[in-house]
Amino acid sequence: MHDFLQDVRFALRMLRKAPAFTIAALVVLALGIGATSAIFSVVNAVVLRPLPYPDSDRIVVIHQDFRTAGLDEMAFGIPEYHDFRDQNRSLEAVAAYQLRDKNLASVDPPERLLVATVSPAFFPVLKIEAAPGRVFTPDEAKAGNDRVVLLSHALWQRRFGGDTSIVGRSVALSGEPYTVVGVLPRGFVLPQKVDVWVPLAPTELESSEERRNWRNYDLLARLKTGVSVEQAQEDLTALRRRMNEEHEGAAPGTSQLLVKVRTLKDFTVGETQTTLVFLLGAVAFVLLIACANVANLLLARAAVRQREIAVRAALGAGSGRIAVQFLVESAVLAVLGGALGLLLALWGVDALVAIDPDRLPRAEEIHLDGVVVAFTLGVSLVTGLVFGVIPAIHASRVDPADVLKEGSRGTAGGRMGRFRNALVVAQIALALMLLAGAGLMTRSLTAMARMPLGFEPEGVLTAKLAITNPRYKEDKAKAAFARDLLARVRNLPGVAGAGITTNLPISVRYSQSFRIEGKTPAEHERWPYAVHREITPGYLEAMRVPLIEGRMLSDQDHEDAPRAVVVNQALVKTYFPEGSAVGRRIRPPCGDDEKTCPFRTIVGVVGDVREVSSEETIAPTFYASYAQGPWHNLNIVIRTSQDPLSLVAALRSEIRALDREQPIYDVLPMQARVEQRLGPRRFALEVLSVFAITALILAAVGLYGVTSYMVTQRTREFGIRLALGAEARDILGMVLKRSLVLAGIGIGVGLAASLALSRVMASVIYGVSERDPLTLAIACPVLAAAAMLASFFPARRATRVPPAIALRSE
Amino acid sequence: MASKAERLIALEGITKVFTTDEVETHALEGVHLTIDKGEWISVIGPSGSGKSTLLAILGLLDTPSGGSYTLRGRPAAGLSAAEMSRLRNQEIGFIFQTFNLIGDLSVYENVELPLVYRKVPPAERREKVMKALDRVGVAHRARHLPGQLSGGQQQRVAVARAVVGDPAILLADEPTGNLDSKNGQAVMQLLHELHEGGATIAMVTHDVAFARHATRTISLFDGRIVEESHAPGAAA
Ligand SMILES: Nc1ncnc2c1ncn2[C@@H]1O[C@H](COP(=O)(O)OP(=O)(O)OP(=O)(O)O)[C@@H](O)[C@H]1O
Ligand SMILES: [Mg+2]
């Protein structure tokens, strides 16, 4: 122990004695460790740390998997929910929930709220309590008792000033009074960014067998103690199979339904996990480069300190003792670097979260905590061991007799030189891999951005409204609202066109099975499936979706007119391969009664619109007339020749004039939505680019350091060569060639490793081959150029060695 | 007799001033010296008297601060760095106190180096290198690294490297300084043989005994030539 403290003290003294070395090493270490800690903070909060609910690993989300129809996250009908709730053998409690929009109008300005309709079991499943107040009682799940509401902590603070007397008071949601029964804990927003919760009280009709396939609810459940996700999956799948048999024929085409059980965490974190784990891997490369860099600096110092080491050895220090002393020095260095890295991570975490806070799940939970600090300390110590072990071994092998001999410094090559070279090669190889990765991602994003969308987002303003007030209960009222709003908007100066859709492209989409007149699918044949949305006249025109055949929807397709739809080319190609679709009729799965569920005539065919950024093929889609099937979720799109945002104020005042209690939200230019869809990939790219540039700089600095050190070590040799008649360019060439060889080997190793790891890349890129030759062809010369630049200055120094140095004894 | 000989080098009023940390050191002050072909000049003097500096200037390793240097009738002032390199390579062979072999190159490669810089074709290089190694008696060690040789052997390799390109003059700075007396004797014997064979030599030495091999001895003190003596044989 005493020895150890003495070693630490000595280490600190040595670091103070060589400030240039110490600063260089600390900067490199802080960069490597800081980046690692920052990424780890995010991974820890998002992926590793359990959700903040008791026994959260037992909370699962259940969906139906209708793979044959390309749907893997289908919801449940109320009768299905009841079957699963009552007949399962693996779940302790099951709750159903649905997200809805409602408008809070009792305060000014009116605000659109995201509402979760949840069965009372929802909170016991999560083991969440309300304070002040209470969560829902089972009794409140009965129609008539259900006008109660729970507020999110944020809404309570924002709109009600955190007043505890709110419990028991009444608030108006979309024009209807609800009694507040409680406030949920700070940060609780499940299922996603929810403002208020109301009890799910299914109507008799909703619970009836007739509505078995009206699938509107997702399920949240708590596993019984000791039951694994896989066991629950098995249990529920068996149950689903039994139900398929029981209800065969009742719902044609859905007899292949399966069940998908995931932990709530997997469901919440989703794809982000892949990205984050990928980035954690990438940052490990940066850390390794930093290690190699510092190891090289230490080796250089060990060489300078040969005499000290030899004297220690001559005084009787065993080789183990000397190695330990060097390791202690490395560890001290690493811990100091780690402390600096932690400061850097503090800032880095904020920067990471700031890139895309909306799309990063659990972003509000991300911060440096004890786990991160412990991780950083661990990483620092391991780092110290990794970069310290080679110099330590080297130091322990110094032969005292060797060093005390005069003039034996000439043998600059040897074992240590090879280590140093290998370290540089490793740095270059790692940097190439990161560069190639960032390059591939850039190319992938460009490819995605270039994919034709099928519409023109520039010059389009979009905004959302939910017309949930009882005054819009009737379809006619909804249709009238839409018509009036559009009439007002079209009269605004600078507006070239406007329309309304129930769903924008590049957002959630709803699919529906349908039936083609004159075609009956065989029992096990897949039913036709299509994405559908309701639109007003002018929507497709405002988006500049081209008409291919027939006509667009127009005012003639009003509520009393025959049902009309427009379809996209993909639908024609898939379901009418024999020829024209115009004039053919389709019917949604609402029954066989032509009175209540009439066939819809295809009146026109329009161009395909890309719905999801990464989709290779475009889904069949039909657009129905909004007036013939209105819905409370509206998206207004306005085409203008001006800056779209310049219309926002006018749009707001038109809506106010129409209904002063009606809020709009999510006002964005369409172009911004298009860019958002690249969100998670852009996040990964931005972080990876920072890593790649850091890696490039570290590798270049590493090569500079090695070359510089080599030139210093071999000053005399260059003097001798000059004395023997070498010219400056011989020396320059010699040094540069050596660097180029190192860089070349590094690039070669890096290329091979990149190709070996291309499978990993494939998981995060799209639209470009993970072995894209162009990217690699660019990454290599970039690195080679950096290597040349890094060694040019030391090389030039070598040419300026005075040849007379050869005459001097050392 | 001296007047008939071919004039190789002429130094006139050579001065050399080093400035470090604002301290001026006058390493040489007004040195006049001529060297004829076939001469063996020995330079002696106390430490710091400017012997090495003189040798560096003779060998075009350094440029004087003042005075003129003529090599085979051509003034060296105003030569480009590349021309100086070429002259060093062709006209001058160096032997150093600390041998100055390059540790990473084999004995053979060390000796070959001046010919490489002169761009001599490989076959001819090989012949010349083996001849030079033969002459100093270390041909059997051609593949070894310098570190595997004794001091005496290393200095013999250095001599081979100095003579391999048939330079006009051999410059040696204390060639025996790092050797024991037996090895020192052997190297002196080697230089003696080379001189007999017609080589011109300028050698710095501390050892008055070795200075006796020379045809002429120059004594430096504080950067000036304070005495010049001809060996009995040569003076006649
Ligand atoms: N590059 C240099 N910069 C500054 N001063 C120098 C330099 N080279 C030599 N000197 C100084 O010039 C003077 C002559 O040095 P020089 O090396 O020629 O002496 P020397 O006679 O060879 O000595 P020694 O017998 O110790 O080798 C000394 O005072 C020395 O300190
Ligand atoms: Mg000297």
What domains are there in chain B, each with its CATH number?
Answer: 39-60+80-230 (3.40.50.300)
Q: Which residue has the tokens 């391969």?
A: A577
Nearest CA to ligand 1 atom 11: B27
More confident residue, A237 or B162: B162
Does residue B195 register a pLDDT over 90?
Answer: yes
Instruction: Tell me what pLDDT residue A232 has.
Output: 86
Distance B32 CA to ligand 1 centre (A): 19
Asked whether the beta carbons of residue A410 and residue B102 sit closer than 8 angstroms, the reply is yes
Q: Is B56 on the interface with A (CB under 8 A)?
A: yes
Contact B88 A410 (CB under 8 A): no
Domain boundaries along the sequence of chain A = 2-47+271-449+680-808, 59-265, 470-660
- Which residues are CB-contacts of A101 (< 8 A; sequence separation ≥ 6)? A112, A113, A114, A115, A466, A468, A632, A633
Residue of B nearest to A722 (CA): B85
Of residues A566 and A54, more confidently modeled:
A566
Q: How many CB atoms lie within 10 A of CB A649?
A: 9
Model confidence at A720: pLDDT above 60: yes
User: Tens of pLDDT along A19-52?
Assistant: 878 888 888 888 888 888 888 888 888 888 888 8
Contacts of A806 in chain B (CB under 8 A): 61, 94, 96, 100
Instruction: Identify the pLDDT of residue A406.
Output: 41
Joined tokens for residue A50: 């359990």
Residue type, A380: S
Between A717, A723, A728, which is nearest B61 by CB? A723
Give the minimum alpha-carbon distance from A15 to chain B in angstroms, rounded to a whole number: 28
**Which 149-188 residues of chain B touch chain A by CB within 8 A?**
161, 173, 178
Its pTM surpasses 0.90 = no
Are B89 and A724 within 8 A, CB to CB? yes
Residue A728 has pLDDT above 70, yes or no: yes
pLDDT range class, residue A551, cuts 50, 70, 90: very high
Shortest distance between the Cα of B86 and any Cα of chain A, in A, equals 6
Ligand 1 center to residue B105 CA distance, Å? Answer: 29
Contact B90 A725 (CB under 8 A): yes
| B23 shares contact with chain A (CB less than 8 Å) | no
Confidence of residue A250 (pLDDT cuts 50, 70, 90): low
Ligand nearest to the CA of residue B206, numbered in listed order = 1
CA distance A786 to chain B (A): 27
Contact B89 A730 (CB under 8 A): no
Which of B21, B28, B53, when mutated, tests ligand 1's pocket best, judged by the most ligand atoms within 8 Å of its CB?
B53
Residue B82 touches chain A, beta carbons under 8 Å: yes
* Chain A contact present for B61, CB below 8 A: yes
Residues of chain A neighbouring B114 (CB-CB closer than 8 A): 724-725
Average pLDDT over residues A625-652: 88
Residue A67 has pLDDT above 70, yes or no: no
Does the beta carbon of B51 sit less than 6 angstroms from any atom of ligand 1?
yes
Residue of chain A whose alpha carbon sits nearest to that of B98? A809
| pLDDT reading at B34 higher than 80 | yes
Q: Inspect the interface and report whether the beta carbons of B81 and A412 lie closer than 8 Å.
A: no
Cis omega (within 30 of 0) for bond into A132: yes
More confident residue, A764 or B78: B78
| Residues A807, B52: C-beta atoms closer than 8 Å | yes
pLDDT of residue A411: 41
Q: Whose CA is nearest to atom 12 of ligand 1?
A: B27
Find the radius of gyration of the CA atoms of chain A: 34
B21 Cα to the center of ligand 2, angstroms: 21
What average pLDDT does the structure give for chain A? Answer: 82
Residue-level pLDDT at A413 = 46
A622 has pLDDT over 60: yes
Transcribe A568-602 into DSSP letters: EHHHHHHH-TTS--TT-EEE-SS-S-TTTS--EEE
Q: Smallest CA–CA separation between A342 and chain B, in Å?
A: 44
**B69 contact A CB<8A:** no
Is residue B80 in contact with ligand 1, taking CB distance under 6 Å?
no
Q: Give the minimum alpha-carbon distance from A25 to chain B in angstroms, rounded to a whole number.
A: 30
Least confident of A227-231, A510-514, A620-624: A510-514
| Chain A interface test: which of B16, B53, B84, B85 (most A C-beta within 10 Å) | B85
Chain position carrying tokens 């092998």: A397
pLDDT value of residue A661: 77
- Sort out which chain A residues have CB atoms less than 8 A from B88's CB and list them: 722-725, 803
Tell me the mean pLDDT in the region B96-106: 87
| Closest chain A residue by Cα to residue B116 | A726
CA dihedral A283, A289, A294, A300 (to 10 degrees): 180
Q: Is the pLDDT of residue A627 over 80?
A: yes
Q: Which of A213, A228, A96, A314 is nearest to A590 (CA)?
A: A213
What percentage of chain B's residues is helix, strand, coil (to nearest 5)?
A: 35, 30, 35
Number of CB pairs, chain A paired with chain B, less than 8 A apart:
83
Cβ–Cβ under 8 Å, residues A768 and A447? yes
A272-304 helix and A370-396 helix, angle to the nearest 10 degrees: 30
Residue among A490, A504, A529 at smallest CA distance from A454: A504
| Substitution candidate for ligand 1 out of B52, B96, B176, B207 with most atoms within 8 A of CB | B52
Q: Which residue of B has its CA nearest to A731?
A: B117
pLDDT at B67: 93
B94 touches chain A (CB under 8 A): yes
> Is pLDDT at B51 greater than 90 in this prediction?
yes
Rounded percentage of chain A residues whose pLDDT exceeds 70:
90
**Going by C-beta distance under 8 Å and a sequence separation of 6 or more, which residues neighbour residue A210?**
none
Q: Using the mean position of ligand 2's atoms as its centre, give its distance from the Cα of residue B37 in Å.
A: 24
Mean pLDDT of the B189-215 span = 88
Ligand 1 pocket, B52 CB below 6 A?
yes
Nearest residue in A to B62, CA atom:
A804
Return the pLDDT at B105: 87
pLDDT tens by residue, A139-198: 888 888 888 889 888 888 888 887 888 888 888 877 788 888 989 888 887 777 788 898
d(CA A338, CA A38): 12
Residue B108 in contact with residue B127, Cβ under 8 Å?
no
CA distance A449 to A445: 6
pLDDT of residue A173: 79
CB < 8 Å to B97, chain A: 809
> Which pLDDT score is estimated for A210?
74
Of the pLDDT bands very low, low, confident and very high (cuts 50, 70, 90), residue A792 is: very high
Considering only CA atoms, which residue is closest to atom 2 of ligand 1?
B18
Query: Ligand 1 within 6 A of B205 CB?
Result: no
Angle formed by the axes of helices A319-355 and A679-713, to 10°? 150
User: What is the arithmetic mean of pLDDT over B129-156?
Assistant: 92
Q: List all residues 6 or more positions away from A506 whose beta carbon is below 8 Å from its beta carbon.
A: A610, A611, A612, A613, A673, A674, A676, A677
Tell me the pairing of strands A111-118 and A196-199.
Answer: parallel
Q: What is the mean pLDDT of residues A788-801?
A: 90
Pairing of strands A564-568, A600-606: parallel
Give the pLDDT confidence score for residue A537 in this predicted structure: 92
Question: pLDDT confidence of B1, banded at 50, 70, 90?
Answer: very low
Residue A85 pLDDT class (50, 70, 90 cuts): confident
Residues that place a CB less than 5 A from ion ligand 2: B 52
Pairing of strands B66-71, B74-75: antiparallel
pLDDT at B236: 32
CA A130 to ligand 2 center in whole angstroms? 91
What does the pLDDT look like over A696-713, one tens digit per residue? 888 888 888 888 888 888
B38 close to ligand 1 (CB < 6 Angstrom)? no
| pLDDT above 60 for A207 | yes
* B81 and A CB contact within 8 Å: yes
